[in-house]
Amino acid sequence: MASSSRRRLCDQELLDVLEGSDSEEELVEESTDSEVPGDLSSESESSDGETEEPVSVARTWCELESPTQAPPPRFPFTGAPGQKIACDHSPLSYLELFLTDEVIRKIVEETNRYAAQQQEGASLPRFSRARKWEPVTCDDIWVFLGLIILQGVVGKPLQKWYWTTNKILSTPFFGSVMSEPRFTLIMKYLHFSNNDEFDEATHPAPKLKKIWEIYQLIVANFKAVYVPDRDITVDESLMAYKGRLSWVQFIASKRARFGVKSFMLCEAKTGYIWNSVIYTGKGTKFAPQYREFGCATSSVLTLIEPLLDQGYCLTTDNFYSSPELFEHLIQHKTDAYGTVRANRRNMPSAFTARKLKKGEVVAWQKGKMMALRWRDKRDVCILSTVHNSETARTTTRSRQEVEKPKAVLDYNKTMGSVDRADGAMSFYPAVRKQQRKYYKKIFRHLLEQCLWNSYVLYKQNSDSPVPHHDFIWKLTEAICVKHPPPESAARPGRRASYVVNPTRLSGRHFAEHLPPTALKQAPTRRCVVCCNKKGKDGKKIRKETRFYCPDCDVALCIIPCFKEYHTKEVF
């Protein structure tokens, strides 16, 4: 009898603490004083005056009978979100924040070294393309990367078709900036590490030795350029790959199904990729202080480690969520919520004992952590440190009003950032199926991530951002203007296409009247600058002009469009 009354007392004390916390600092102070966050010890005296053993409420899951109690307070957010390295707001300047001079110089150095190693002492056939190899420069690599980026917008099944002269398939721009043999040779010798310096015993990630240095540089730039907002997400991403690789993963829920898996941390609001870890099986490089945890917990703690103790709120799915992970996050003043598997270790013993009707909710509390089970079409299990069992009305896609737990609504709102980034990168991919070398394919995937992060920052800082596909081709155009290839690199007799003209910002340009045609003595054409602007009604402006630039072969108004077209990178 005494034990049952003592148990009711413990439950009531827990509810009193959760409801009576007037400040977030009070709960934080209690968390740090106990062995486990939210640990509350109570002592009860017996009738004869003797003190019984203390009972730890934080070690006990207590069922919540009413959703009226206040949810656990969030930890105060002390981060400083936003872009930390300034740039001039042009598309290329954002990409240069991630592909820095250090990254480009490293690629140039290792590519030239690898080409020399391959050709040293080799007897090349008489008509081999490799005989025409010339060491690459930083400008060559930039133009090479620009063409890879543009291939994501101009999709063709075979790479050589980008240089074809067939009028049905031709894309003159590619041949105007770099010849097909030169592009193929750079792709053949593209390299990112010195093979002679590799030591498997001391290398931090032997399975990623071919790409490790560049990967570390680019991910470090992701973290240095931008600090995410409070809500962040961790999920897995899969880069399609079916080659011979011991750590290729199969994930049935992903569209690619087979490929190289990465654990990624993204900002929930924008999908900015802030950190990632490539999974290579047992040799995966996690932070050494988390070796005692399993793969799921170690991956999350490795990704979020620089953001701990700042009040961030993490969203995870049932692969990562566990009481073990959430307790560690609470110790470091980090909130979290997400779906959880009902059979996880240390979940409430009676979590799945009762069969629920549709719409019914049951919940248990353990300190700051709540485990909730809600019956929809099937059971949905949620683990959270910032929610209670309260529900709210929402409208479904079929315009029906339904009751859902607030924890489920918040999870649906913040969980999809990694999938959003993957989806955006898949629309204009830099990765090609024909790429057999795994390290070159991973580099192309890193290039996609750099493009996506560049576009996220560009949208945040631009008053009138262009669509994603326009951003990509304008970025390629800016690369070809800033890093012009030598005259010998392009095929003679080729000029730029109508839309993309890499020479429009250089040289001398003069306006002329459009030449007469067989039907009109004074023909007109649409001004390309005006057609890219929007009027007060939000629709694109349609304006005709009689003037054009013969060198660029585009119609332009004399004032101010002629000047804008030849002086601004983005118009």
SS3 content of the chain, % helix, strand, coil (to 5): 35, 15, 45
Enumerate residues 6+ apart whose C-beta is below 8 A from 25.
76
Q: Return the residue matching tokens 């880069």.
A: 239
Indicate if 53 and 144 belong to the same structural domain. no
pLDDT tier, 396 (very low <50, low <70, confident <90, very high otherwise):
confident
**Is residue 133 a part of any domain in this protein?**
yes
End-to-end CA distance of the chain: 80
Q: Which residue has the higher pLDDT, 413 or 22?
A: 413
β-bridge pairing 361-366 and 335-339? unpaired
Where b means 16+ CB within 10 Å and e means fewer, 367-377 reads bbbbbbbbeee
Q: Tokens 């043999």, residue?
A: 181
pLDDT at residue 192 is higher than 70 = yes
457 in any annotated domain: yes
**How many Å apart are CA 318 and CA 288, to the nearest integer?**
24
Does the model's pTM come out above 0.85? no
The answer to whether 337 and 410 have CB atoms below 8 angstroms apart is yes
Token pair in block for residue 237: 């991403």
At residue 59, the pLDDT reads 66
Look at residue 486 in the predicted model and tell me its pLDDT: 62
Candidate from 226-230, 314-318, 353-357 with smallest mean pLDDT: 353-357
Is 18 a residue whose pLDDT tops 60?
no
Q: Give the chain's domain count.
A: 3
Q: How far apart are CA 538 and CA 423, in angstroms?
A: 27
Give the other-Cβ count within 10 Å of 127's Cβ.
Answer: 6
- Note the pLDDT of residue 202: 86
Which band of pLDDT confidence, cut at 50, 70 and 90, is reported for residue 244?
A: confident
Same domain, 45 and 123: no
CA–CA separation, 78 and 512 (whole Å): 60
Specify if 108 maps to a domain: yes
Indicate the average pLDDT of the chain.
84
Contact call for residues 371 and 351 (beta carbons, < 8 A): yes
DSSP character at residue 540? B
- Taking the C-alpha atoms of residue 352 and residue 342, their distance in angstroms, rounded to an integer, is 7
Containing 249, the helix (H) or strand (E) segment is strand 249-250
Percentage of the chain modeled with pLDDT above 90: 54
In a shared domain, residues 100 and 175? yes
Lowest mean pLDDT of 32-41, 276-285, 310-319, 527-536, name the range: 32-41
Asked whether residue 224 is domain-assigned, the answer is no
pLDDT in tens, 79-127: 999 999 989 888 999 999 999 999 999 999 999 999 999 988 788 888 8
The length of the chain in residues reads 571
- Cβ-count burial of 312 within 10 angstroms (0-12 exposed, 13-18 middle, 19+ buried)? buried
* 42, 9 Cβ separation under 8 angstroms: yes
Query: Is residue 289 situated within a structural domain?
Result: no
Burial of 535-569, coded b for 16+ CB within 10 Å and e otherwise, reads eeeeeeeeeebebbbebbebbbbeeebbebbbeeb
Examine the domain organization and report whether 97 and 54 are in the same domain.
Answer: no
26 and 104 housed in the same domain: no
More confident residue, 289 or 48: 289
Residue matched to tokens 């009762």 = 354
Q: Rounded to an integer, what distance in angstroms lies between the CA atom of residue 240 and that of residue 254?
A: 10
**374: closest CA among 325, 349, 411, 345?**
411
List all residues 6 or more positions away from 202 whose beta carbon is below 8 Å from its beta carbon.
Answer: none
The span from the CA of 540 to the CA of 297, in Å, is: 50
Q: Domain for residue 266, yes or no?
A: no
- Contacts of residue 213, defined as CB under 8 A and 6 or more positions apart, other chains included, come to 106, 192, 193
In a domain, 309, yes or no: no
The pLDDT, as a whole number, for residue 548 is 92
> Do 362 and 372 contact (CB within 8 A), yes or no?
yes
Q: What pLDDT shows up at residue 503?
A: 61
Residue type, 347: M
Same domain, 118 and 34: no
Looking at the structure, do residues 509 and 478 belong to the same domain, yes or no?
no
**What is the DSSP-derived secondary structure letter of residue 57?**
G
User: Quick one: which of 482, 422, 402, 59 has its CA closest to 273?
Assistant: 422
For residue 57, what pLDDT is reported?
40
Residues paired with 392 in a beta bridge: 404
- Angle made by CA atoms 94, 95, 98, in degrees to the nearest 5: 105
**Residue 128 binned pLDDT confidence (cut-offs 50, 70, 90):** confident
User: Could you tell me which residue, 395 or 41, shows the higher pLDDT?
Assistant: 395
- Among the listed residues 149, 214, 278, 282, the one whose alpha carbon sits nearest the alpha carbon of residue 440: 214
Phi, psi values for residue 522, rounded to 5°? -130, 75
Residue in the structure block whose two tokens are 């730890």: 56
The tens digit of pLDDT for each residue in 493-533 reads 443 333 456 566 666 788 899 999 888 888 999 898 888 88
Residue type for position 113:
R
pLDDT of residue 291: 87
Are residues 49 and 143 located together in one domain of the fold? no
Residue 381 forms part of a structural domain? no
Q: Could you list the residue range(s) of the whole structural domain that residue 163 is in?
A: 91-198+447-482
**For residue 63, which phi and psi values (nearest 5 degrees)?**
-70, 135
- Domain identity same for 118 and 46: no
Whether 253 contacts 459, CB under 8 Å:
no
Which of 27-41, 118-132, 138-152, 270-284 shows the lowest mean pLDDT across its residues?
A: 27-41
Query: What is the DSSP track for 448-499?
Result: HHHHHHHHHHHHHH-SSPPPHHHHHHHHHHHHHHHSPPPGGGSPTT----SS
The CB density around residue 343, as the number of other CB atoms within 10 Å, is 9
The answer on 186 and 104 residing in a single domain is yes
